[in-house]
Structure 1
Amino acid sequence: MARALALLGWATTMMTLLLWFGWRSTMPYGWGIAIVLCLPLALAGPGLWKRRKYTYAWCSLLSLAYMALGLMEVFATSVGRTPAMLHLLSTVGLFLGCVLYPRLYNREQTGINAVPAAPAPEES
């Protein structure tokens, strides 16, 4: 569940960045900015797909920068508020998924590998 949330947040964060800065932007180099903003997320993609816990860890830190970008745009401008809100929701999903996946994975692994302790011999 957490992995699906992380992957969905990853994909929608990239999509909202491309749509927001590339397609809806009035800046002359909007697509260039969108591609530069998507590069760190694109580098995280293979690690997320291969379930590497280290990638989930640094991607959670990366998502905080994207979350700050969304928060800034939500409160600073009124024109881009709707795409910024969609971007903010997707980054929250990415952050939660990246934080919860390693935690739940470790809990699952310790539950599987845990061997019940043998009862102590009774003293007579």
Structure 2
Amino acid sequence: MSTSPPPLTLEADAVTRITRWVAVGALLALIALCLAWELWLAPTGRRTLVIKVLPLLLPLAGLLKHRLYTYRWVSLLVWLYCAEGLVRATSEPAPGATLAMIEIALCLVLFAACAVQVRWRLQRAKAAAALG
């Protein structure tokens, strides 16, 4: 009887690949939304809130390199942007409120993709360790 880890199935590859690209896409969309929001669509003050994009740039390389640790901390970081979106959706007039709702939706998609990615990869590692 062989004790090698289970072979990767097409389903496993598909889950990992899809959640990776959904996370990267949602992060890029969130970056683009924040830049457009603060620079052109509904700028506040002297457009200094555009610096809120900087923390979103940090995890991009880790997500593209498929680092599990990055997926974990992005799933926590994204809640700061979700909270900002909730506050601005309830306190700003249009178009700021609409942009805030889009921000909330992107945050939820990013969180879900990161959570599924982390959970799936940890389950597969646990299964491989149990067999190996």
Q: TM-score range by the shorter chain?
A: 0.7 to 0.9
Shift of 1:50: 0.7
State yes or no: 1:69 paired with 2:84: yes
Secondary structure class of the residue paired with 2:49: helix
Q: 1:85 aligns with which of 101, 104, 108?
A: 101
- Whole-angstrom CA distance in 1 between matches of 2:123 and 2:22: 18
For 1:1-124, list aligned pairs within 5 A. 1-30=18-47, 32-34=48-50, 36-79=51-94, 80-112=96-128, 114-115=130-131
Instruction: Name the CA shift for 1:87/1:49 in 2 (closer, same or farther; >3 Å).
Output: same
Is the 1:5–1:96 Cα contact (8 Å) retained in structure 2?
Answer: no
- Whole-angstrom CA distance in 1 between matches of 2:46 and 2:92: 19
Structure 2, unmatched stretches of 5+, are 1-17
Instruction: Tell me the matched-pair count.
Output: 114
Secondary structure class of the residue paired with 1:29: coil
- Higher-Rg structure is 1
- Whole-angstrom CA distance in 1 between matches of 2:42 and 2:101: 16
Q: Percent identity?
A: 29
> What root-mean-square deviation, in Å, do the aligned CA atoms of Structure 1 and Structure 2 show?
1.8
Shift of 1:108: 2.8
Deviations 1:48-102 (A, max 9, x none): 1111111111111110000001111111122212111111111111111111111
